[in-house]
Structure 1
Amino acid sequence: MLPSSESNYQPVKDSQTKLDQFLVCGLGSLGQHCVAVLKEYGAVVNAIDQEQPQHLEIPNLLSLLENLFIGDCRQSSVLEQANISRCRTVLLVTSNERVNIEAAFAARLLNPQVRLVVRSDKQNLNELLSQTLGNFIAFEPNQISASGFALAALGDDNLGYFQLEERQFRVVKRQIKISDNWANKWHIHELNTLYRRVLNYANDSSPLPKEFHQWEPEATLNPGDTIIYIEVTEQLKSLKQIATVRKYNWQQLWQEIVLGRTWKNLKNKIAYLLRTFSRYQSLRVAIICGITVLFLWCFGTIIYILNYPESNIIEAFYAIAVLLLGGYGDVFGGVNFKTPPEQAENMPGWLRLFSLALTVTGIGFVGVLYALLTDALLSSRFQFFNNYQPSIPQKDHVVLIGLNRVGQRVAALLQEFKQPVVGISSTALNADFINKIPLIIDNITDALDKVNLANSKSVVVVTDDDMENLEIALMAYAKSPKTRVVIRTYDRYFRDNVARLFPYAQVICTSAISAEVFAAAAFGENILSLFNFDTQTILVVEYMIEAGDTLNGLLLAEVAYGYGVVPILYQSLRRSPVKFMPADHTQLSIGDRLIVLANSHSLQRIERGEMFPRNWQVQIEKVLAQDAIFDGANEISIISGCNIGVARELMHNLPAPLPVALYKQQALLLVRRLSKLRVTAYLKPFIQDTN
């Protein structure tokens, strides 16, 4: 029986009245990491668990909690003791989904306004509860972390994929080579376009920065440099979407089909089908036979109608069908030399010979179709009884060890990426998963010798035991040092230690990744996707600007450089067009929609309203043309956000410094724009007037 009495309440420290508290229900691995991340936000955190935590993955966990309550989080009395009425958010992250859902009901009854962040993978139920309860969001840690393992397994230059507004976004890591067309020509800021944004940059002698925008925008790309950027590619639309959504007329639709991407896509589909047919000889033979029989059927019907106009087309159609199925004698009434049928007496000889040819040809082609159909049925039956499995890939495949829920999800994602994969499990699997991928059920050590490990692309180890994962990874590396190793763990300190001791391994902490998503959702952020970026997790976060938000009224330049995020989508109102990679001078207002890339530290700064200081100032020297005074003032007002009147007065009293401080990237952009308008300006450090 679960404890629920007041005697089970254990205060960790004296609690003061708080109006903005967070409650974590369940102090397992995920719950402990959620507490740690919430404290990084500066939140006041209480917790409920059924018993005093025995295994602390966060060593100072108890000191991070304002209060710890021992009891059943589904019971109203326990939730009331935990000050549910004063909570901003309740995170229900126990390992039991039923408990989480029942506790969500109890919390909603006690506090109709509290935000509910629930651990659950019941997608349909979660959607229904979100509509019914309101202010409800649910995540499943296995699904959150699976994409990270799948992308790490690919091991190429693509760090992340996600989709927004029917557009595909791709995060790319690229090392500049001597032959690269960007080498020795392009400055970093020149790579930013309407469809691309630079996320990180480092020269060949320095590591990648830990935050966005921590590089010199004027630096030139040289061979050996590393650059990470995000780009957007348009997703192809179907003909139905083109015709209905965009409302083309027929001429425009024809131009789209013939000249546009749709026609190119159709050609690619046809080429793919041809390649598919070339690999399956039986299918090719069946199609040829079928087309031939159909042609003879139609052609024979026409010949009979032309020679016997008074006959019924239906009768001719069925007569040819009988001939093709070997019914020559049926059509001609048991023909013999002594008693020829009446209908054969007046028939031309060539037509009777043609009918005989139809019968012989039909017997041959229809017989082939029967044989192919029989072969297919027997093959499928033998495969079913013999438990047929796909063959093990020979090279460039992923070896997936541990086919639990995370492993099966990773396998499904790798198949979506068209990546060959082979699975290894030491225990039997459910019938639904068998035959989906090549599979070896055996001792892990013996199985590694059967998967062509030396020619594999990567080894992903995702069993439920951290130490077993490490042991298997070390064995795999010893057998194939060139193969990339990806390890699953639940403890972020274990992750950090392993990553430092074994730099060839990529270690992903499931609980740490999931906790960042749960914590961000606890503050009301809408998490759309995530990916791993240089040992840290980058979240794709959607904001709807409201009154009192720390983002309200800011320029996107201030949001990006002040909080360390990358805006990738902006929409003024829900009905207005979406802008990808929006301009820095865009100003946010109430009702706007903004999607950014951010790490946990960036989200914490946005929540607290703590911006990086503006340390640069633009000194404007002179104008080289009279019309530059007007245009220069407009540009200053747009980029810096200062009042247009102040900007015009400044341009009439040169030389003078811009009276507002800017971020370096913002100031450099202003200098470049002014230079194009024939206004001389340069950067200088901002010195705040203390008088």
Structure 2
Amino acid sequence: MERPVLLCGLGRVGWRVLESLRAAGLPVVVIDLKTEPDDPRLCGATVLKGDCRRHELLERAGVKEARGIVIVTSDDLVNISTALLARKLNPTARVVVRMFNQNLITRFGGAVKNTVALSVSALIAPVMALTAVTGDALGAFRLGDGPRQISELLVTDDSELAGRPVADLALQHGFAPLVLTPAAGSPVFLHAVSGQRVLSPGDRLTVTGRPADIQRLVQRLRGDRFAGVQWAGALRRWLRTARRTLLEVDLAVKIITPVLFGTLFASTLVFRYGLDTAWGDGLYQTVSIIATGGDLHGENRPEWAKVFISVLKLAGAALIAGFTAILTNYLIRARLKGALEVRHVPDGGHIVVCGLGNVGYRLVQELIAMNERVVAIDKVADGQFHDTVRRMGVPVFVGDATVPEVLAQTRAGAAKAVIAATDSELGNIEVALLVREMNAKQRVVVRLTEPEFADAVREAADIRNAISAPALAAPAFVSALYGDSVQALVPVAGRTLVVVDLVVNDADDHLNGASLRAFVLDHDLLPIALSGRDLADARGYRLKVGDKLTVVAELPDYERLLRFQQPPTNHRVVAESWPATARDALVPLVCVSRQCSREEATALLHGGAFTVADGLTFGAARELIELLEREKAKARLV
């Protein structure tokens, strides 16, 4: 029996991880505090009810024989405790741990052998950011020269994709086709996607490429027109700042300030025209009386002036005390930072991130790395990421993003995209609907939990970028079981594609010396990148120590590769005909393939059809046929 995977915790993420494990065909044993063994959602998975930190419960679950342990409860301490105990009971099994604490993510995985710590926010942020920038993203991974994304393109009647071969489009737009789902028929994957296939309306083409290339294509297909970040003039921005500053001032400050200055002005007039003093002396005497309570000794003043000065002293004391108290209280509670942020908000072309929790902060980081202009909104006045984000040059508005006035401050209606990433699903839906009221064509990315709810929002509310965070992150926890080389697992057309880095570690590695073309055909892998080489020029290349090959595969094919299952060697290549001018070029190829002398090869080429090589794998046979066809020979695979 195949060794099981232990899954600890069936919360929102845990259920999605269970689905991904089942999709990968792995046997699962679940430990959870609340789930009953007869829950129909388990679909036959074994469940032990209890605390996953208990030594005896882990042993009953088979931790010592497990191929891997995935720990995804909602408590960092529980996850860490369980991981350490599991590592003690099974020193060789791979442990995948969910973490919330950003400081622990890299440190814990590095400190505990064969353990990977993952954060849901770090996993979903790249895809959400790419979705906001490009309009669509099924998954994301990273190569040595930058990020790549996986997106789905829909062919419509008036689309520039319709009526064109896949290979021409791939060359023009710099993408690699992964899956073709025709309007009528079954989807075809990876190598089965013919470059000569002409796309028709209703077809869906899943591709991978650079985000910038995908963005330009998607924008053209959807009619988006973003001319970059748009800024108002400096004067206009400063006027906005002044207006916003005045709006932020408390009513009490607005009342007592004109009263105080009105009193100063009126008193100055009395001194100027009633007591015949100069303007400057009148103002000086007024301020002296109000501020210090001093009187005008040695001066012969009429009785009414003495009364006026006495009243001015009393009123001034009250005004100064009140003004000082009200202004001090306001300054303590002031939110002038938000007012001053207004001048840093573009008129359009930026991205608005609503919510600066763990997910929101990661989104800002990803967007800044993509050279996007970002404006953030957070409901918490003293959020832990505010200062860090401001140091990145991102203006932060403190307020409720579900209030239209707050969204209006960030120019959300004219933005490139708005990402609703708060911790409240209801709030995220409300933000999306408010933004759509401001601009019916606005691109909105909504963070949700349940994938069924996300599907309903996409279909019923026409918010096509509603994303289920647990469903998006769950495949990464499964991929971590296979090793650090797996970058992403992406469900497409009912199957799971895996993006993986294959590294030739040493001379004894089974990949060392393998023909690249034969290897990818034998294992049905689609090569995406080869370290230090252009794949277009890698014909006939043999892998060597130090090479890193990034491929896309269907998950079962990758599992067979992990188990070192050798492809069958029951293929034969028969050469049927060839031009006489090609004989000299074919002789060395026949010599190597048949392990024969030049004389024997020459004799074969002067005769009829013959077997060039036997006992080949499918990949080796296809590679040999391609070599023969390059010399204008006709050959067939048996």
- Taking structure 1 as reference, are residues 80 and 679 closer, same or farther at Cα in structure 2, changes over 3 Å only? same
Alignment of 1:404-419 (within 5 A): 404-419=357-372
1:133-158 per-residue CA deviation (whole Å, 9 max, x = no partner) reads 32111111110000000000002699
Q: How many residues align?
A: 506
What is the aligned partner in structure 1 of residue 256 from structure 2?
none
Question: Which deviates the most, 670-679 or 167-176?
Answer: 167-176
Q: 1:517 to 1:452 in 2, by over 3 A?
A: same
CA distance in 1, matches of 2:452, 2:550: 31
Query: Per-residue CA shift, 1:314-372, capped at 9, x if unaligned?
Result: xxxxxxxxxxxxxxxxxxxxxxxxxxxxxxxxxxxxxxxxxxxxxxxxxxxxxxxxxxx
1:388 partner SS: helix
| Distance in 2 between residues matched to 1:40 and 1:203, nearest whole Å | 20
Residue 147 of structure 1 contacts residue 531 of structure 1 at CA under 8 Å; is this kept in 2?
no
What is the identity, as a one-letter code, of the residue corresponding to 2:119? E
From 522, 525, 528, the equivalent of 2:481 is 522
Which residue number corresponds to residue 397 of structure 2? 439
Amino acid in structure 1 at the alignment position of 2:191: H
How many angstroms apart in 1 are the aligned matches of 2:32 and 2:589? 59
* Percentage of identical aligned residues: 25
Aligned residue for 1:150?
Answer: 129
Instruction: Answer whether contact 1:635 1:674 (CA < 8 A) is retained.
Output: no
| CA 653–498 in structure 1, closer or farther in 2 if over 3 Å, else same | farther
Which of 502, 514, 517 is the matching residue for 1:543? Answer: 502
In structure 1, the gaps of 5 or more residues are: 1-17, 234-277, 281-381, 572-576, 687-691
The answer to whether the aligner puts 1:567 opposite 2:530 as a matched pair is no
Aligned residue in 1 for 2:84? 105
SS in structure 1 opposite 2:64?
helix
Give 2:355's aligned residue. Answer: 402
- Residues 125 and 471 of structure 1, relative CA distance in 2, 3 Å threshold: closer
Whether the 8 Å contact between 2:489 and 2:498 is mirrored in structure 1 is yes
Q: CA deviation at 1:673?
A: 4.5
Q: 5 Å matches for 1:369-380?
A: none
Q: What CA RMSD, in Å, does the superposition of the two structures yield over aligned residues?
A: 5.2
Query: Does 2:12 match 1:32?
Result: no
**Deviations 1:458-505, CA, capped at 9 Å, x for gaps:** 222223344543444344334422112222222233334444445651
- 2:58 aligns with 79
SS of the equivalent of 2:395 reads coil
CA distance in 2, matches of 1:95, 1:559: 42
Once structures 1 and 2 are overlaid, which stretch shifts more, 212-221 or 91-100?
212-221
**Displacement after TM superposition at 1:124 (Å):** 5.8
Q: Is the 8 A contact 2:354 2:376 kept in 1?
A: yes
- Secondary structure at the aligned position of 2:132 is classed as helix
Structure 1 partner of 2:341: 389
Structure-1 separation of matches of 2:408 and 2:128: 23
- Write out per-residue CA displacement over residues 543-568 of structure 1, whole angstroms, 9 at most, x where no aligned residue: 34699999799754455455554323
Counterpart position of 1:421: 374
The change in CA–CA distance for 1:444 and 1:99 in structure 2 (over 3 A counts) is same
Matched residue SS, 1:87: coil
Task: Check whether the contact 1:489–1:509 (CA below 8 A) recurs between aligned residues.
Answer: yes
Alignment partners' CA distance in 2, 1:63 and 1:93: 19
Alignment of 1:560-599 (within 5 A): 560-561=520-521, 563-570=523-530, 583=538, 585-586=540-541, 593-598=548-553
Q: Distance in 2 between matches of 1:645 and 1:502?
A: 70
AA partner of residue 86 (structure 2): A
Q: Is the 8 A contact 2:149 2:210 kept in 1?
A: yes
Matched with 2:189 is: 211
79, 100, 118: which is aligned to 1:139?
118
- 1:365-410 deviation line (CA, Å, top 9, x unaligned): xxxxxxxxxxxxxxxxx99878732443211222323332112211
- Post-superposition offset of 1:123: 6.2
Q: Alignment partner of 2:386: what SS?
A: coil
Alignment counterpart, residue 48 of structure 1, candidates 31, 36, 41: 31
Secondary structure at the aligned position of 1:85 is classed as coil
The one-letter code of the counterpart of 2:528 is: I
Question: Structure 2 vs 1, CA of residues 432 and 522 (structure 1 numbering), >3 Å: closer, same or farther?
Answer: closer
Say if 1:550 and 1:607, in contact at 8 Å, map to a contact too.
Answer: no
The one of 609, 616, 620 equivalent to 1:655 is 609
Secondary structure of the 2:340 match is coil
Corresponding residue for residue 305 of structure 2 = none
Partner of 1:376: none
Listed one character per residue, the Cα deviations across residues 64-86 of structure 1 (whole Å, up to 9, x for unaligned) are 422x2222222322222222111
3-state DSSP class of the match of 1:389? Answer: helix
Q: Which residue of 2 aligns with 1:678?
A: 632
Say yes or no: does 1:63 pair with 2:22. Answer: no
1:481 maps to what in 2?
440
Specify the code of the residue in structure 1 equivalent to 2:11.
G
Distance change in 2, residues 1:35/1:229 (3 Å): closer
Q: Distance in 1 between matches of 2:433 and 2:567?
A: 42
Q: Answer yes or no: is the 8 Å Cα contact 2:402–2:427 preserved in 1.
A: no
Q: Which residue of 1 aligns with 2:267?
A: none
In 1, distance between residues paired with 2:375 and 2:84? 42
Aligned residue number for residue 265 of structure 2: none
Deviation at 1:622, TM superposition (A): 1.6
Q: Could you list the runs of 5+ residues in structure 2 that have no partner in the other structure? A: 213-232, 236-333
Structure 1 residues 206 and 136 mapped into 2: Cα distance closer, same or farther (>3 Å)?
Answer: same
How big is the shift at 1:44?
Answer: 1.6
Alpha-carbon offset, residue 430 of structure 1? 0.9
Q: Secondary structure at the match of 2:628?
A: helix
**Contact 1:568–1:581 under 8 Å retained in 2:** no
Deviation at 1:423, TM superposition (A): 2.9
Q: CA deviation at 1:24?
A: 0.9
Cα distance in 1, alignment partners of residues 196 and 411 from structure 2: 47
Partner of residue 90, structure 1: 69
Give the partner amino acid of 2:54.
Q
CA distance in 2, matches of 1:559, 1:429: 55
Q: TM-score, normalised by structure 1?
A: 0.59
Question: CA–CA distance in 2 between the matches of 1:459 and 1:632?
Answer: 64
In structure 2, the CA distance between the partners of 1:69 and 1:383, relative to structure 1 (3 Å rule), is closer
Quickly say closer, same or farther: Cα 1:490–1:385, change in 2 above 3 A. Answer: closer
Say if 1:200 and 1:209, in contact at 8 Å, map to a contact too: no
In the aligned structure 2, how far is the partner of 1:163 from the partner of 1:386? 36
Report SS of the residue matched to 2:192.
coil
Shift of residue 661 of structure 1? 8.4
Q: Please give the residue correspondences for 1:618-629 in structure 2 after superposition, counting only pairs within 5 Å.
A: 620-625=575-580, 627-628=582-583
Aligned match for 2:420, one of 461, 466, 469: 461
Residues 288-309 of structure 1, C-alpha deviation per residue, up to 9 Å, x if partnerless?
Answer: xxxxxxxxxxxxxxxxxxxxxx
Give the Cα separation in 1 of the matches to 2:569 and 2:460. 39
Of the candidates 175, 191, 209, which is equivalent to residue 230 of structure 1?
209
Seen in structure 2, the aligned counterparts of structure 1 residues 440 and 210 have a Cα distance that, compared at 3 Å, is farther
SS in 1 for 2:122: helix
Distance 1:45 1:635 in 2: 51
Corresponding residue to 2:589 among 628, 634, 642: 634
CA displacement at 1:588 relative to structure 2:
6.0
**Which whole-Å CA distance do the structure 2 matches of 1:60 and 1:661 have between them?**
47
Q: Deviations over 1:171-202 (max 9, x none)?
A: 5879999xx99999988289679x97623486
d(CA) in 2 for partners of 1:550, 1:192 = 33
Which shows bigger deviation, 507-516 or 182-191? 182-191
Contact 1:488 1:507 (8 Å CA) reproduced: yes
The answer on whether the counterparts of 1:93 and 1:119 sit within 8 Å (CA) in structure 2 is yes
**Displacement, 1:417?**
1.9
**Retained in 2: the 8 A contact 1:389–1:437?**
yes
Find the aligned partners of 1:91 and 1:599 in 2 and give their Cα distance: 22
Aligned-partner residue type, residue 678 of structure 1: K
**CA–CA separation in structure 2 for the residues paired with 1:630 and 1:474:** 68
Aligned to 1:349: none
Structure 1: distance between partners of 2:164 and 2:337: 63
C-alpha contact (below 8 Å) 1:556/1:586 kept by paired residues: yes
Contact 2:380–2:398 (Cα < 8 Å) also in 1: no
Deviation at 1:97, TM superposition (A): 1.4
Instruction: Letter of the 2:454 partner, please give it.
Output: R
